Amino acid sequence: MNDGGLAMALGTMHFGTRVGRDESFALLDQYVDAGGRWIDTANCYAFWNDPAGASGQSEQVIGDWLTARPGMRERVLIGTKVGATPAGDGTEGLSAPVVRQELRASLTRLQTDRVDLYWAHKEDRGIDLAQSVAAFGEAQAQGLVDQVGWSNHPVWRVERARAIAVAAGMPAPSAIQQRWSYLHPRPDVEVEGEDHPYGMMTPETLDYAHENPDVELWGYTALLTGFYDKAGTSLPPSYDHPGTHDRLERLASIAQAHGAQHGQIVLAWMRHSDPAVRPIVGVSRPEQLTSAVEAMQIELAADEMATLDA
């Protein structure tokens, strides 16, 4: 995670739709001024916010911001995704033609000549995995993509993709992105709002990254859409179990000791974990971003991490 910036990524899912252009520019400026580098987006963001179902607004706003800020492209790292945009009765998938076409469309919207991290957004078992791996490797060979990551895939598929890449003389995918937070749902029930069958990070994911230190973990929905500190917010039924209640008590104790918000301790916990998980923090207001940045400065002692993890 040592990229010279904050150990978090700015989530921009709603930039250009629910978060207006001017507000998006201001948040991006604030993030960079605070030392942030990684910006996380996707080609499908945010079709569900558009009356016509159009997508690409987040990438377009980021591209406009980069163009309006000469020299900014060299100060930030951009990750975007392919594979989840609606197409026909399903999604676009991860075939080689789609990966090639959508990468160029993303570069056009982002107004840049490269992507620092290109993610396979969701599984596509209708396409041979080797075809998808080769398409991402081709993009790297062309200098259009620096690193490749796999989002919302089971660990065995990530390992198989890495093996295919290495056997073909291509760089191995170096990042996994899944949903992750301090509180966990029961493993035997459907998680409300989670539409990826393998979108939840598991102990196996953590173990895999621990044994493969060249693989970085990214966690989305880190703050459970504001649950930890937003009054009146409740958890889905899948989180209603004794472990949740015990963890909330431990979290409250550590937060009180630091004079911090509960969500700030969650972000600090992710940064201090072994392996560390880079939180993707989606914000719509300056104070939310300020809180997240402050969380990156909180130092948790070994005994505090042991209390949180017990």
Residue 159 within a domain: yes
Taking residues 131-152, report their average pLDDT. Answer: 98
Residue 4 within a domain: no
Closest alpha carbon to 264 in 237, 236, 288, 231? 288
Residue 2 within a domain: no
pLDDT tier at 2, thresholds 50, 70, 90: low
What is the Cα–Cα distance from 42 to 119, expressed in whole angstroms?
A: 8
User: How would you class 38 by CB atoms within 10 Å of its CB: exposed for 0-12, middle for 13-18, buried for 19 or more?
Assistant: buried
pLDDT in tens, 207-256: 999 999 999 999 999 999 999 999 888 999 999 999 999 999 999 999 99
Domain with 156 in it: 9-309
Residue 204 within a domain: yes
Residue 3 within a domain: no
Backbone dihedral region of 11: left (phi > 0), alpha (psi from -120 to 50 degrees) or beta? beta
Q: What is the CATH number of the domain that holds 252?
A: 3.20.20.100
In sign, the C-alpha dihedral spanning 84, 85, 89, 95 is negative
pLDDT tier at 64, thresholds 50, 70, 90: very high
pLDDT for position 48: 95
Residue pair 298/251 in contact (Cβ under 8 Å)? The answer is no
Taking residues 98-102, report their average pLDDT. Answer: 98
pLDDT for position 195: 76
pLDDT for position 3: 76
User: How would you class 155 by CB atoms within 10 Å of its CB: exposed for 0-12, middle for 13-18, buried for 19 or more?
Assistant: buried
Taking 80 as the threshold, does the pLDDT of residue 41 lie above it? yes
pLDDT for position 189: 82
Closest alpha carbon to 13 in 200, 282, 227, 195? 282
pLDDT tier at 264, thresholds 50, 70, 90: very high
**Domain count of the chain?**
1
Q: Which 3 state secondary structure label does DSSP give 148?
A: strand
Taking 80 as the threshold, does the pLDDT of residue 310 lie above it? yes
Residue pair 188/146 in contact (Cβ under 8 Å)? The answer is no
pLDDT for position 190: 79
Taking 80 as the threshold, does the pLDDT of residue 163 lie above it? yes
Residue 34 within a domain: yes
Taking 70 as the threshold, does the pLDDT of residue 1 lie above it? no
Taking residues 47-61, report their average pLDDT. Answer: 96
In sign, the C-alpha dihedral spanning 156, 280, 142, 169 is negative
Residue 137 within a domain: yes
Taking 90 as the threshold, does the pLDDT of residue 22 lie above it? yes
pLDDT tier at 188, thresholds 50, 70, 90: confident
pLDDT for position 191: 78
Residue 56 within a domain: yes
